[in-house]
Each structure stands twice: as structure tokens, then as C-alpha cells.
């Protein structure tokens, strides 16, 4: 029996592993096994418009109207986005926005909520 880490959000011991990520059934928090292991030198640090460090699972707020490519829709200022995931690339935030679906955002257009 392998020892899985406790949930960093609610400190529950009932965590499980899914596709290289850890998940907590009690609070629903998901986190990467790399960030929990403390390997700070491997990944780049992603910061929001105010310079705050972002992590997987954070909630952010959009600070500028963002046009959605391929549609006439706009993500309005103040739209709150919950449970972000950090990814590599120019658009470094992967998320789901209510009313729009899955999207990629640039960290320079959000602030940590």
C-alpha cells in the first residue's frame, strides 16, 4: 500500500491518484504530484497581472474584456474562473468558463481572486 499525500486544501487523508494528478474526494481539490513534491526548479513560475504566483486549482478574475477567437463573444471584465490548470505555452492557463466552455488564457489578463 503506497502512502499518498494529504490534501493541501483540507488536509484530508482520503486522497487518490488520477492520470498523474492527486484528487481529494472530500473537498474536490486537484493538484499535481510535481508541485506537491517541492520540485521548484523544474517548472516556470506563472504570475498574474499583479505579480502574485498562480498554482493549479486557484480562482482568478479576468481584468480585461477578451475577444473569443472565432466567435463574436467576449469574456467580460470581472468574470470569475475557478479551478485553473497551469500549462506550458503562450496561453499558460487552461480553464472552463461558464457560458463559454474550455478555454486557454494568458496569465497577464487575470488576477488572483
What is this structure's pTM? 0.61
What are the start-end ranges of the H helices in the chain?
A: 33-37
Q: Which three cell numbers stand for residue 64?
A: 480585461
Sign of CA dihedral 77, 35, 8, 53: negative
Is 38's pLDDT higher than 70? no
Q: Considering just the CA atoms, what is the radius of gyration of the chain in Å?
A: 15
Is 7's pLDDT higher than 90? no
- Could you give the percent of the chain with pLDDT greater than 90? 50
Q: How far is Cα 94 from Cα 53, in angstroms, rounded to an integer?
A: 16
Amino acid at each position: 500500500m503506497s502512502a499518498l499525500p494529504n490534501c493541501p486544501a483540507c488536509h484530508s487523508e482520503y486522497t487518490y491518484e488520477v492520470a498523474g494528478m492527486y484528487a481529494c474526494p472530500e473537498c474536490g481539490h486537484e493538484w499535481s504530484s510535481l508541485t506537491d513534491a517541492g520540485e521548484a526548479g523544474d517548472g516556470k513560475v506563472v504570475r498574474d497581472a499583479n505579480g502574485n504566483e498562480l498554482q493549479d486549482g486557484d480562482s482568478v478574475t479576468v481584468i480585461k474584456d477578451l475577444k473569443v477567437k472565432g466567435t463574436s463573444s467576449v469574456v467580460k471584465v470581472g468574470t470569475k474562473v475557478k479551478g485553473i490548470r497551469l500549462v506550458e505555452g503562450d496561453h499558460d492557463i487552461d480553464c472552463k468558463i461558464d457560458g463559454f466552455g474550455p478555454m486557454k488564457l494568458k496569465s497577464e489578463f487575470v488576477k488572483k481572486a
